[in-house]
Structures are given as C-alpha cells and as structure tokens.
Structure 1
Amino acid sequence: MNQYPMTAKGADMLREELNELKSVRRPQIIEAIAEAREHGDLKENAEYHAAREQQSFCEGRIQDIEGKLSNAQIIDVTKMENNGKVIFGATVTILNLDTDEETTYRIVGDDEADIKNNLISVNSPIARGLIGKELDDVVNIQTPSGTVEFEISEVEYV
C-alpha cells in the first residue's frame, strides 16, 4: 500500500474538491443526462454523450481523490520542532552560489505542487536534493541547465 505524503492544507484542498464534486458537479451531470435523454434518440445525441463523458470523468476523479485521502500520510510541520533539517512540508530558502539569487520553495505532495507559487513536489529533483539536508549546507542540484550549487539559507516549518 503506497502512502501519499500530503500537507494538512493539501488534504483540506482535496476534501473541498471531493465535496464539490459529490454535492455540486455530480447532481448537475445527472440532471444534464436526464435532460439530454428527453431529447430522444441517444445515438445521435451529442449532449447526452458529452454529459456521460463528464460523468465518467467526475466519477473517476472522485475515486482518485478518495483513494489518495484513504492512503494519505498527512504531515503538519507546524506541529514539529524545527531542527533546521529539510523535511517534507518545510519551506526552504536556497541561495544560488553562482548568481547570488535567493529562492524560497515549500516541499509538498504531488497534488499540491504549483511552481508558480513556489510549491514543489517532494519528487522533484530540487526537493530530492534538499530533503535530509540542513541549514547552511551546500548542495549540488541537477537542473535542466546543469548542476547548480545552492546554500540552504533558511528552513521554516510554517
């Protein structure tokens, strides 16, 4: 059984999406199917087929979320003592030693990853290079443009 690491916020977001799918989307789709059925011949009925496709997608997503939540390992770093170690859920500021550019990332589960908001997947090359390291460590991380040297300048459990 695979455990999915997930932040508390990520689990809440999935629960909200699940609730939306079950209480709003599912009834809307059922209504759309019923309406399309009233239009007669189902073979030529594009609305019916589109609604059935939406239903299939919706039910698949519901199963996907329920599966992830049932196997979720929810990690709330705010309840842990910060010992300067980079762990799942930590917010890490790294300094590119070539460019002096500082970047802050939060290491999250796959479903929460959003690079535009500096949320990186625990399975990304950057996160894999940082996990287990500590404040002030210098790490070499493989990037698309080659290996880059970073110094961990801040580790927060927020």
Structure 2
Amino acid sequence: MQQIPMTVRGVELLRAELNELKTVKRPKIIADIAVAREHGDLKENAEYHAAREEQGFCEGRIQEIEAKLSNVQVIDVTKMANNGKVIFGTTVTIVNVETDAEVTYRIVGDDEANIKNNLISVNSPIARGLVGKSVDDAVTISTPKGNVEYEIIAVEYI
C-alpha cells in the first residue's frame, strides 16, 4: 500500500480522533443500542436503527484512521535544514505579482488540509505549483480565473 505523507501535527490529530472514537463514541453507541433494544420490536424501532447506522459510521472511521496510521510517513520539516526549497510540510509565503496580495500556506497531507486555516493539500494545484521551487522563484498557478503569477517570498521549515 502507498505511504501517506503527514506532518507530526496531522498524525497527532488523527491519533486523538481515533482515541475519542474508541473510548468515548463507541461505548456511547453500544449503550444507545442496548437502550433502544429494550423498547421492543426492532423492525419499527427508529432509535435502534439510528444507533446501528451511527455505529457503522463510527466503525468505518476507526478502520479508515487505523489504515492511514499504519501507512503513514511522518515528515517533520523542523528537523531538516532550511535550504529555501518548498517541500511537503513547509510554510510558504507568496505574493501575487499583479495585485501585491500576500498569502501564507502550509503544505500538508490530504487529511490535514483546511483552506480556512491556510493548510493546503500537497495534491492541490497551488501546492503542486510551489513544490520544488525556492525563495524568489516566480511561479504561475492555474486558477479558475486563469493563470496567476506569484513570487515566493518566504519558505519556513516550522
């Protein structure tokens, strides 16, 4: 199976979610099923069916997280020498050449990506355009509004 790149923080978040699912959510669902069973006829028991469905989602997510964690490749850029090159895990500040708008992104794995927090997936068009480039490089990123030219003004290994 293919290795899944992830930052140290991403692995910590997945482990915390897995722990929550196994120690809090799973026991609650089992208790809900037991209570719902006491209501009698299971064919027309909405609480029972809802709890069973939630159990299916919970168990599926547990399996998904365990599979990812078993194939994770943790990349900790804080332990690498900063040579100014954009790689997985780096924090990159770019400036739009036309508008002078500045934005900072951190390049992370698919599971960690959250555009609201400026965490972009390594597989996103922006990250693909930045990876391998260095400080002061100009890059052209294809966006829905057309090609946009950016200059990389900072690369941090934090």
The interval holding the TM-score normalised by the smaller chain is over 0.9
Q: Aligned to 1:59, what secondary structure does the other structure show?
A: helix
Aligned counterparts of 2:70 and 2:145: Cα–Cα separation in 1: 38
**Deviation by residue 1:30-71 (Cα, 9 ceiling, x = unmatched):** 000000000000000000000000000000000000000100
Alpha-carbon distance in structure 1 between the residues aligned to 2:38 and 2:131? 57
Give the AA of the match of 2:113: A
Match for 2:92: what amino acid?
A: V
- Residue in 2 aligned with 1:86? 86
Give distance in 2, aligned partners of 1:107 and 1:144: 20
How many aligned residue pairs are there? 158
Deviations 1:79-114 (A, max 9, x none): 100000000000000010010011000000011101
Deviation of 1:154 after TM superposition, in Å, equals: 0.1
Q: Residue type of the partner of 1:118?
A: N
Name the structure 2 match of 1:108.
108
Equivalent residues in 2 for 1:27-38 (5 A)?
27-38=27-38
Normalization by structure 1: what TM-score?
0.99
Distance 2:75 2:124 in 1: 18
Any runs of at least 4 consecutive aligned residues in structure 1 with deviations exceeding 3 A, and if so which? none
Q: Structure 2 CA distance, aligned partners of 1:42 and 1:100? A: 63
Name the CA distance, whole Å, in 2 between partners of 1:79 and 1:20: 29
SS at match of 1:106: strand
Mapping 1:140-151, distance limit 5 Å: 140-151=140-151
Coordinate RMSD, CA, aligned: 0.4
Q: Secondary structure at the match of 1:43?
A: coil
Instruction: Measure, in 2, the Cα distance between the counterparts of 1:85 and 1:126.
Output: 15
Determine helix, strand or coil for the equivalent of 1:39: coil
* Partner of residue 48, structure 1: 48
> What's the secondary structure of 2:84's corresponding residue?
coil
Secondary structure in 2 matching 1:16? helix
Distance in 2 between residues matched to 1:69 and 1:131, nearest whole Å: 24
Tell me the CA shift for residue 144 of structure 1: 1.0
User: Structure 2: which amino acid aligns with 1:65?
Assistant: I
Percent identical pairs in the alignment equals 75
Alignment match, 2:21: 21
In 2, Cα distance between equivalents of 1:119 and 1:57: 26
**What's the TM-score, normalizing by structure 2?**
0.99
